[in-house]
Amino acid sequence: MTSISTENTSTVTVGMVWGDEGKAKVLTDNIAESLEAGRDVINPRFQGGANAGHTVYVRTESGIVEFISHMAPIGVASNCKIAEGPDVAFNPIQFWKEVSDAKKLFGFNNDIYLSERTGVLFDYHKKIDKLHEAEAGRVLGKKVGTTQSGIGPFYMDNARRTTRITLVDYVSPEFNSLLGKVMELKRQEIEAALALDNEDLRKAGVRSVSDYHDWIVAQHEGVRRELRPFVCRLEYILRRAIESGKTDVHVEGGQGSMLDVNMGTTPDQTASHLLATDALASLGLPRRAVKIIGVAKVCPTRVGGGYMPTLADDEFGAEMQKNSGEFGKTTGRARRVGYPDWVILRYAAMINDIDEIALTRIDNAQDRDIKVCIGYDTNGLGVSREVPMKLQGIIPFYDMKSYRWHLFDAPADLSDPIKVDVELKSRRKAVIDAGFDNLPADLIEYVRNQDKYVGKPVTMLSIGPTQGEMLRRH
């Protein structure tokens, strides 16, 4: 094998807490930097499915465009090469729709690599997700609160092996009969799922598992043809790209580390492996060739009902939520806001082997008193800097010092990035041009203290939602 440069211009970008940290924005900026430096870029997604949503605001000739992707890597909006890794819960129909949107919006016309090992998510996974939720409600008295995108049932099928359909099978002529066998193995569950109120299937005249099979086959026929040329041995392509010394691989994570199936906090995790080291394992990438970037918002947010030690159940939280427009693009659900939690960041830095941190939404946190959690008191047993598996019962321990900074004058409501762009873009640019040392003293101190506590440095400071609104600290 050829030697690998250790310059680390390739990256893996993961969320450090509960997701929605702004990973796509950070990635978009790093992709732009590579492209501007004349390097080729491949942007693979490595896990999860359409349950995650990324939003970016891209400047085009006709103004700012909001682009939301659930399945396609965010590089479609930057027209770099894109890829899907083996651990992705791949929804081909959704993927192809988003790629087609990106063609229209951004002229996407670059290469697509789909790992032959990637498993395909079908409509029955979604219906079974709904069934499992109903069962959880009945037996446990509490639903999991999934996005019902079929992710949990998909990963169960992947692990069972006999019920897994990978992309290499999906695009082969044997697909119809294989799907039939898999649906036969799952007959009981599919029948139970069909018995629920599935209006779309009822309208389409689906009455039996056999009808359902034919309906799925018809739904996928065109997309299977379109995707056939892109199915490949991704691990070799990525390895050759890295060894060429001319290509940067920018790997994209979904969700956030605290939702990881093993290392997250219980309950309310997701079904996939989210850590940066999982990305390396599933894409066959060498650790020494990549820089691992953890993304964290100043104030973490959490969608759904999951426990959050620093939940700001007060005016601060309500104002931050409104001002920052903290509502999920996938589900429309409100994201609850918390005070900064350095205990979790320190843990996330450790379990992901993070090299550098991108801190986002610094603008949203301006003009407020920001207090920071630096310890967890578990049931009055003493303050610890460790994150237990279960967060219930933890009392956050806040530092005596709080921080307050002012970056630029801005309207109280920043929730619509397009509306405030004209007014703010030059002010944001001025802050970025002035550089790190000219930031407000409290913000500099906040960043330096976080560096010390977490043990890894903040190297990127995001002060706006739009591509490029990022201050790099050298």
Find the part of the chain contacting ligand GDP (CB under 6 A) among 14-22, 91-99, 299-307, 387-395. 14-22
Q: Which is nearer to ligand GDP, 265 or 467 (CB)?
A: 467
Binding mask 36-55 for ligand GDP (x = CB under 6 A): -----------------xxx
Q: Which is nearer to ligand GDP, 221 or 413 (CB)?
A: 413
321 binds ligand GDP (CB under 6 A): no
Sheet of 112-115, strand order:
231-232, 112-115, 81-84, 40-45, 247-252, 10-15, 290-297, 356-360, 458-462, 470-472
Q: Which is nearer to ligand GDP, 20 or 341 (CB)?
A: 20
What is the spatial distance between Cα 153 and Cα 158, in angstroms, rounded to a whole number?
Answer: 9
Query: At residue 273, what are phi and psi to the nearest 5 degrees?
Result: -90, 125
What is the spatial distance between Cα 98 and Cα 280, in angstroms, rounded to a whole number?
Answer: 26
What is the spatial distance between Cα 370 and Cα 440, in angstroms, rounded to a whole number?
Answer: 14
| Closest by Cα among 378, 400, 402 to 388 | 378
Q: Which is nearer to ligand GDP, 15 or 309 (CB)?
A: 15
Find the part of the chain contacting ligand GDP (CB under 6 A) among 17-25, 93-101, 119-127, 278-286. 17-25
| Size of site (CB under 6 A) for ligand GDP | 21
Name the token pair of 148.
């019902």
Q: Which is nearer to ligand GDP, 166 or 360 (CB)?
A: 360
126 binds ligand GDP (CB under 6 A): no
Query: What is the nearest approach in angstroms of ligand GDP to the Cβ of residue 437?
Result: 20
Q: Which is nearer to ligand GDP, 254 or 396 (CB)?
A: 254
Q: Which of 20, 29, 87, 278 is catalytic?
A: 20
Asked if 20 is an active-site residue, the reply is yes
- Sign of the four-CA dihedral 149, 153, 158, 161: negative
Q: Which is nearer to ligand GDP, 25 or 371 (CB)?
A: 25
Q: Which is nearer to ligand GDP, 125 or 428 (CB)?
A: 428
Query: What is the nearest approach in angstroms of ligand GDP to the Cβ of residue 167?
Result: 24
15 binds ligand GDP (CB under 6 A): yes
Binding mask 52-71 for ligand GDP (x = CB under 6 A): -xxx-x--------------
What is the spatial distance between Cα 337 and Cα 260, in angstroms, rounded to a whole number?
Answer: 20
Query: What is the nearest approach in angstroms of ligand GDP to the Cβ of residue 314?
Result: 21
Query: What is the nearest approach in angstroms of ligand GDP to the Cβ of residue 464?
Result: 5
224 binds ligand GDP (CB under 6 A): no
Residues of span 20-39 touching ligand GDP by CB under 6 A: 20-25
Q: Which of 29, 54, 125, 421 is catalytic?
A: 54
Find the part of the chain contacting ligand GDP (CB under 6 A) among 16-24, 86-94, 261-269, 315-323. 16-24
Find the part of the chain contacting ligand GDP (CB under 6 A) among 19-27, 224-232, 340-348, 400-408. 19-27
Query: What is the nearest approach in angstroms of ligand GDP to the Cβ of residue 306?
Result: 16
Query: What is the nearest approach in angstroms of ligand GDP to the Cβ of residue 341?
Result: 17
Residues of span 446-465 touching ligand GDP by CB under 6 A: 462-465
Find the part of the chain contacting ligand GDP (CB under 6 A) among 78-86, 93-101, 110-118, 356-364. 356-364
What is the spatial distance between Cα 256 and Cα 21, in angstroms, rounded to a whole number?
Answer: 8
Binding mask 404-433 for ligand GDP (x = CB under 6 A): ----------x-------------------
Question: What CA–CA distances, in Å, run from 47 to 44, 222, 230, 266, 455?
Answer: 10, 25, 18, 20, 27
Residues of span 360-389 touching ligand GDP by CB under 6 A: 360-364
Which residue lies nearest ligand GDP, judged by its C-beta?
22
Asked if 433 is an active-site residue, the reply is no
For residues 398, 402, 408 and 409, what is the CA-based torsion angle, rounded to 10 degrees?
90
Q: Which is nearer to ligand GDP, 137 or 435 (CB)?
A: 435
Q: Which residues are catalytic?
A: 20, 54
Chain residues binding ligand GDP by CB under 6 A are 15, 20-25, 53-55, 57, 360-364, 414, 462-465
